[in-house]
Amino acid sequence: MSIKAFLDSPRIVYTILGVTIGLLLVVLLWPTPRPYDALADKARVSAAVADALRSNPEIVVEALQAMQARQGQMEQIRAKQAVTANRGALEHDGNSHVGGNPRGDVTLVEFYDYRCPYCREAQAVVNQLIKSDPNLRFVYKEFPILGPESMIAARAAVAARSSSYYSAFHDALMTAPSPLTEEAVLKIAGSVGINVSALQIEMRSPDIDQIIAANHALAQEIGINGTPAFVIGDTLLPGVVSLAELQQLIANQRAMRAR
C-alpha cells in the first residue's frame, strides 16, 4: 500500500488520532507527586520518639549514663595530656615547698585549701604516707578557693615556704579551728617558731600574689576545680584518696621506671 493510500484510509487516521488523544490525556491527568512536607515528617518522627520514650523510659537514663561515661573518658584524656604538658610547673616550679625526701624517686603533688574539711581529712593520710615512704617527694601547692580567710592562710604558708618550720606550720594550719584571721594565722606561725615580723613583711610581697595566681592558673589548666586534688605521674586524683590507693600508685610509678 502506498503512503497516500495509507493516509487516505479513514480507519487508520481515526486510530492514529485516538492514540494521540489518549496519550495526551494520560500526560495531563497523571497525578503529580506530593511535595516533601518537612514539618509533617518532623511531627511524625517526634510522635514516634515520644511513643518510644513512654513505652521505654529507661532509654533516657541509659542515654544519660552513656553521655556521662563519654564525657568522663574525654576529661580523663584531657587531664592526662595537661598533666604531661605541665609536669615541670607541677613538680619543679621553684616556688612550692617540697617535703618528704626532696631527692625522692617519685613525686606526689597536692593542691589544697586550709579551710577545706576534706583537705584536713586528707592531711592525716598524707602525713602517714610521707612517714612510711622515705623515698617519696611531696610538693605542696596552696590553692585558696574558699574565701578571704583561705587566702590569708595561703599567703602566710607561701611566705614561709623556705622556712624549716614550714611543715609544722602547714600541719598547724590544717588542724587550727576557724576563723583563720590574719591575727590567728600569725599566732600559729609564732607558736611553731616562725619569725612573725619577717613573715608579715613577706606576706605582702608581690611575689606571693604571683605564686598563688600561678597555682590557680595551673589548676585550671589541668582541670582541678576543687580541693584536695593530687597529681602523680600523669594521673589526676580529685578528692580524698586512701592511703592504700596512694601507695599503689606510687608502686606503679616505680615499677614503670624500673622497666
Write the pLDDT tens digit of every residue in 150-190: 999 999 999 999 999 999 999 999 999 989 999 999 999 99
Residue 195: name the closest of 150, 161, 167, 160 by CA. 160
Q: What is the value of pTM for the model shown?
A: 0.73
pLDDT at 211 over 60: yes
At 124-150, the pLDDT tens digits run 999 999 999 999 999 999 999 999 999
Instruction: Work out the mean pLDDT of the chain and round it to a whole number.
Output: 86
- Strands 106-112, 136-142: pairing is parallel
Q: 7 Cβ partners below 8 Å, 6+ apart?
A: 13
Q: Residue 9 has what pLDDT?
A: 54
- Beta strand ranges found along 5-105 (DSSP E): 98-100
Q: Residue 25 has what pLDDT?
A: 47
At 16-36, the pLDDT tens digits run 555 455 554 444 455 555 555
> CA-to-CA distance for 214 and 16, rounded, in angstroms?
95
**φ, ψ (nearest 5 deg) of residue 76:** -65, -40
Question: For the sheet containing 106-112, what is the strand order?
Answer: 98-100, 136-142, 106-112, 229-232, 235-238
Q: How far is CA 12 from the centre of its chain?
A: 87
Q: CB 113: neighbour CB atoms within 10 A? A: 23
Q: Residue 7 has what pLDDT?
A: 43
Q: Which residue has the cell 607541677?
A: 90
Q: For 204-215, what is the mean pLDDT?
A: 97
> CA-to-CA distance for 224 and 220, rounded, in angstroms?
6
Element (H, E) at 227: none
Cβ atoms 163, 97 nearer than 8 A: no
Q: At 253, is the pLDDT very low, low, confident or very high (cuts 50, 70, 90)? A: very high
Name all domains of the chain by residue range, CATH numbers in brackets: 87-258 (3.40.30.10)
> CA-to-CA distance for 64 and 190, rounded, in angstroms?
53
